[in-house]
């Protein structure tokens, strides 16, 4: 029998189509089987108990009052951890029992009664822990002078947290189902030893693609686009300065558009000489504010040169005080700190900073933590080189400052404390993250037994850690320091500031500040738990800057007495009440000119 080309092609097509249909049927059966066996399986008993236990613990207090999404994050992430740990522990117990031949047989009526007793106990403990957690949230609200959240906040957050944990369980089981699917699909075609490895690699590749598209393709790129749009936004509520002593103003070498949104807010804010003069009761000068922003067309080194050129143009070297600020990720600076300097010096000052990124601080730290350190170091080095060219009598007193990621970056200009004291006339670091290298050096040499929230360093001779203004003159326990010598350095940090205390080691190690008596605005009921405390502090961070002044990551009115101390404006103890009254007048003036500060 002979076959022509047409009949051969028809036979080949039929064979290929049959194989494709068979493959599709096999794929559908494998997918359905994987879904039934993995996603629809009942909850693991050990996992359920572990999730319940961690959910109870997650309602324990942390540093700041929780919004609904903070409740959701704490409960959801804790339950995920508890379920995984409980499932692993339960599996280990079952394997150990099987290995020693242990069998447990419970009569049906006893099993039913045990289930009812267990269910009642779970409901009772859950209700108790939740109510206790709500009451602790009220206590925290009073400690940080916030209005307590309403009951709906706690209810919605709890429900959202449970939903998040269920979604995470479905995602985990979907991953297992994917692995079962690949194994079923490959088993007829590959050797048994190869199937496991191949299915594992295919599952990992599938998860990587999904995560990449979700995290990088949507979340990360969306954050970058929003940050870029916010940086380019020129708000009509932020007027261009009319003073030639401000960057972006008349005669400035920096255009208004080039400063970025944070830079534009900085140079347009602050008090004029007349306002300062009325407040302090003596003639005042017009303060100088210098700012420049890094862009795609110039490097950090070029940006530092631009700052120095603006200092030259404005005559900043003739001022009494020059303060170099390292900003946060977006280039933001603390207006309370800037204004405090200007009022306390009667305007005889210049402040300078630069924008090294327009990303929010968390994204900057994760994606490019070297930029804030390079920015802080290059700015100090560049200004010092320029000052070395000036006659000694023309050189202003040089100070450095930064908050949060700005403190992390600004301190990078100095290898250690001796270099800091040799280089500048003083420094103010607020909300410094605990992983900052210079801070780690200083705390390692703190007086043994001094509080972790306010360590005593060299008896306060040059460095003082301040949790509230009264710590400027006495240590946290009320003891006396040795006489304060210049240069003076202040680390301001609130016990309730999560930015200060957040550290990856919270996942597995109890920190020193929780091993001892907690700070004055932190509930003594706070405890450390592995994994859970890490996420509690992490969820406290985003809104910590919105806390009332003096708590959380909100450093406001206290910047006036802090800068007065660092600038050396000391008075005898009997004159301090009068000085506090003057500081209150300055604080009122700053509030008036910057109602959003």
**Beta carbons within 8 Å of 298's beta carbon, 6+ residues apart:** 306
Residue 216 lies in a domain: no
Q: Are 455 and 327 part of one and the same domain?
A: yes
Residue 233 lies in a domain: no
The residue-averaged pLDDT of 347-372 equals: 88
Please say if the pLDDT value at position 3 is more than 60.
no
Residue 60 lies in a domain: yes
Q: Any idea which of 2-6, 44-48, 414-418, 480-484 has the lowest mean pLDDT? A: 2-6
pLDDT tens-digit series, residues 437-472: 999 999 999 999 899 999 999 999 999 999 999 999
Please say if the pLDDT value at position 114 is more than 90.
no
Residue 261 lies in a domain: yes
Alpha-carbon distance values, 187 to 30, 181, 183, 190, 203 (Å):
11, 10, 6, 6, 15
Domain count, the chain: 2
Q: What is the pLDDT of residue 38?
A: 56
Q: What is the pLDDT of residue 109?
A: 78
Q: What is the pLDDT of residue 407?
A: 97
Run of H or E including 515? helix 512-515
Q: What is the pLDDT of residue 211?
A: 75
Top pLDDT among 319 and 175 is at 319
Choose the final residue of a domain: 189, 205, 222.
Answer: 189
List helix spans (H) across 269-416: 273-280, 300-314, 335-344, 361-368, 370-388, 405-410
Q: Are 166 and 278 part of one and the same domain?
A: no
Q: What is the pLDDT of residue 165?
A: 92
Q: What is the pLDDT of residue 172?
A: 86
Residue 527 lies in a domain: no
Q: What is the pLDDT of residue 398?
A: 98
Q: Are 373 and 474 part of one and the same domain?
A: yes
Residue 574 lies in a domain: yes
Q: Are 392 and 488 part of one and the same domain?
A: yes
Domain residues for the domain of 485 are 246-496+558-593
Q: Are 252 and 380 part of one and the same domain?
A: yes
Could you tell me how many residues make up the chain? 597
Q: What is the pLDDT of residue 33?
A: 53
Q: What is the pLDDT of residue 60?
A: 96
Beta strands across the sheet bearing 397-403: 288-293, 349-355, 321-326, 397-403, 426-430, 488-492, 463-466
Q: What is the pLDDT of residue 319?
A: 97
Q: What is the pLDDT of residue 387?
A: 97
Q: Are 175 and 294 part of one and the same domain?
A: no
Q: What is the pLDDT of residue 596?
A: 65
**Beta carbons within 8 Å of 500's beta carbon, 6+ residues apart:** 431, 432, 433, 434, 493, 494, 553
Choose the final residue of a domain: 189, 221, 255.
Answer: 189
Residue 102 lies in a domain: yes
Q: Are 261 and 185 part of one and the same domain?
A: no
Q: What is the pLDDT of residue 249?
A: 96
Q: What is the pLDDT of residue 7?
A: 46
Q: Any idea which of 8-22, 347-361, 499-513, 544-558 has the lowest mean pLDDT? A: 8-22
Q: In 3D, which of 533, 335, 350, 513 has the Cα closest to residue 430?
A: 335
Please say if the pLDDT value at position 223 is more than 80.
no
Q: Are 144 and 278 part of one and the same domain?
A: no
Please say if the pLDDT value at position 537 is more than 70.
yes
Q: What is the pLDDT of residue 23?
A: 47
Q: What is the pLDDT of residue 130?
A: 95
Q: Are 74 and 160 part of one and the same domain?
A: yes
Q: Are 178 and 252 part of one and the same domain?
A: no
Choose the final residue of a domain: 151, 167, 189.
Answer: 189
Q: What is the pLDDT of residue 179?
A: 82
Please say if the pLDDT value at position 509 is more than 60.
yes
Residue 205 lies in a domain: no
Q: Are 404 and 317 part of one and the same domain?
A: yes
Q: Are 351 and 432 part of one and the same domain?
A: yes
**Beta carbons of 340 and 560 less than 8 angstroms apart:** yes
Q: What percent of the chain has pLDDT over 90?
A: 69
- The pTM score is 0.88
């Amino acid at each position: 029998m002979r076959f022509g080309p047409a009949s051969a092609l028809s036979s080949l097509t039929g064979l290929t189509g049959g194989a494709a249909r068979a493959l599709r049927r096999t794929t559908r059966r494998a997918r359905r089987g994987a879904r039934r066996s993995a996603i629809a399986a009942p909850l693991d008993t050990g996992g359920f108990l572990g999730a319940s236990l961690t959910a109870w613990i997650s309602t324990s207090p942390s540093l700041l009052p929780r919004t609904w999404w903070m409740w959701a994050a704490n409960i959801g992430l804790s339950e995920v951890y508890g379920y995984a740990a409980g499932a692993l522990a339960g599996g280990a117990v079952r394997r150990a029992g099987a290995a020693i031949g242990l069998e447990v047989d419970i009569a049906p009526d006893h099993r039913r009664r045990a289930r009812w007793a267990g269910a009642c106990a779970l409901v009772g403990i859950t209700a108790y822990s939740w109510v206790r957690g709500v009451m602790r949230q009220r206590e925290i609200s009073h400690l940080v002078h916030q209005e307590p959240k309403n009951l709906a906040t706690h209810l919605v957050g709890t429900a959202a947290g449970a939903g998040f944990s269920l979604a995470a369980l479905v995602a985990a089981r979907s991953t297992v189902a994917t692995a079962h699917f690949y194994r079923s699909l490959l088993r007829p075609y590959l050797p048994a030893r190869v199937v496991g490895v191949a299915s594992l690699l295919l599952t990992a590749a599938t998860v990587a693609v999904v995560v990449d598209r979700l995290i990088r393709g949507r979340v990360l790129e969306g954050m970058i686009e929003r940050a870029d749009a916010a940086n380019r936004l020129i708000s009509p509520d932020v007027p261009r300065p009319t003073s030639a002593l401000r960057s972006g103003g008349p005669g400035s070498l920096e255009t208004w558009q080039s400063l970025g949104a944070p830079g534009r807010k900085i140079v347009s804010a602050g008090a004029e000489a007349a306002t300062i003069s009325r407040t302090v009761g003596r003639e005042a000068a017009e303060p100088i504010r210098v700012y420049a922003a890094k862009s795609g067309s110039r490097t950090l080194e070029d940006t530092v040169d631009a700052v120095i050129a603006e200092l030259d143009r404005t005559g900043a070297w003739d001022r009494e005080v020059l303060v170099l600020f390292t900003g946060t990720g977006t280039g933001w600076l603390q207006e309370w700190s800037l204004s405090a300097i200007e009022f306390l010096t009667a305007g005889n000052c210049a402040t300078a900073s630069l924008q090294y990124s327009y990303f929010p601080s968390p994204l900057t730290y994760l994606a490019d933590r070297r930029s804030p350190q390079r920015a802080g170091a290059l700015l100090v080095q560049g200004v010092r080189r320029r000052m070395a060219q000036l006659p000694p009598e023309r050189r202003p007193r040089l100070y450095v400052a930064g908050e949060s990621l700005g403190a992390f970056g600004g301190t990078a200009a100095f290898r250690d404390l001796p270099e800091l004291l040799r280089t500048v006339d003083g420094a103010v670091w607020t909300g410094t993250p605990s992983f900052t290298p210079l801070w780690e050096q200083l705390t390692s040499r703190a007086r043994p037994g001094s509080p972790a929230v306010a360590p005593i360093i060299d008896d306060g001779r040059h460095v003082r850690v301040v949790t509230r203004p009264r710590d400027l003159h006495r240590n946290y326990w009320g003891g006396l320091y040795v006489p304060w010598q210049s240069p003076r350095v202040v680390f301001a940090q609130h016990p309730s500031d999560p930015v200060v205390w957040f550290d990856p080691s919270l996942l597995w190690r109890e920190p020193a500040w929780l091993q001892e008596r907690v700070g004055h605005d932190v509930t003594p009921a706070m405890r450390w738990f592995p994994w859970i405390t890490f996420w509690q502090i992490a969820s406290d961070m985003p809104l910590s800057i919105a806390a009332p002044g003096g708590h959380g990551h909100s450093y406001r009115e206290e910047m006036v007495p802090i800068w007065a101390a660092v600038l050396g404006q000391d008075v005898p103890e009997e004159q301090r009440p009068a000085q506090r009254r003057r500081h209150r007048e300055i604080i009122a003036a700053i509030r008036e000119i910057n109602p959003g500060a």
